[in-house]
Structure 1
């Protein structure tokens, strides 16, 4: 791969996906794109770049997908799901009692483990959500991972990463060496293809937005712009959940950290609930705690 090829790919990936590759990441591009080049019958990346410049846009889409990181697993990092159970859901069950509806968005949902983890948390509430309208939206740039998400079929390795055995037995059906989520859990999540660099206002507003482990690949200006647009889509008393290595601090004032809750943020200008307010959580939430811990 020539320096010109690399610069072309860096620019294209930033424009199409927001991925901001530093000059020393040539090895990453080679490891991801050489297999793709061979799959489409080309000897190397230089030939792949030439075909991209003159060929169909579908090849460019394949390149972007190949460079997108889809690392995920059930209840990843655990802390955000503790926050969901102990802080967000108690506050929202009280605040939304009159309208009896919840909307949750998982941006960069990858192969579905995150939105399905949220769905299982909500399912564990049982009668506490009886009669409520609950929407979970999962979005991702990659059509391939969205198709896998909708199927809800996971390998033995995937269900062993972070998923409590009680939930595996309760919500999955074994199919040979694979495991499929039961239809009632799959039906709780809607999947849509979406690029965070583009307008996403058509999704409407949400009570909770999970946007984890994707912004780390963007430059500061791109992050700031996304935070500003996310702030317009979360309810004034709603929540934003970021990954462990991500923060709004020093980037945007659209959100402020929730006291003593790592990775949890509220829209700026709203009144922050008392961190200990979940002490009297409903029995159903305590049930979730006993399973997920």
Structure 2
């Protein structure tokens, strides 16, 4: 694995959870080199890692850059693949190897997203049925259901594809930031798949501002729609999303944040190809009915 994959972990002020995650990731039978991007933690996370996990490369960032920290970490990656891992997720034994094997075998594939089991019960993440039964049509060679969206902490990605599309958009910071990346990969001709046999455990952190995260999720979803979807689709999905969100100040703030960036959206708007839009249309019914996509935090 040292020649094929590097694991990139991002963290911010979650020292205990990070320590637990690194203990598990470094003990894997197929463990890979790890780069930790510390988003300006003030709880001694970076010091702890350097003391307890000398094999982990620590990238100390001056402030919380959100998902942009992954971009900076990938700049240091020399392997062909990178597996993203959050400080509250753990790839299970064999998962890194299986994902890398799939990417080796299919050069047109940009990402492999795994099956998420939520601790402590290890029930499947509620979003799993959307991935397992994805209606998106892919080529005959696809080694799993074809996706038009990924979950970063569950995904191994081909570094060449990641760099080709510019990685994560810094403005989005964190919260649904993967949607835009996935659409840009698809627009560039890359494919993404889900695999049942790539298993990741997720123990959702309690150290988070759920309402702010919801606000960012709504804002980033609106931005993605306005940046990449045809006008009619963007308007329809925007209405659907806002109808499903609580009518509170956080939703209002999300819309206001998104609207204030209208000049940036206009400058960077690039509608996806018709084939990608057809896949997005096929996904809409399951997305509208999904309880996992309710902005209720």
TM-score (norm 2): 0.23
Larger Rg: 1
TM-score by length of 1: 0.23
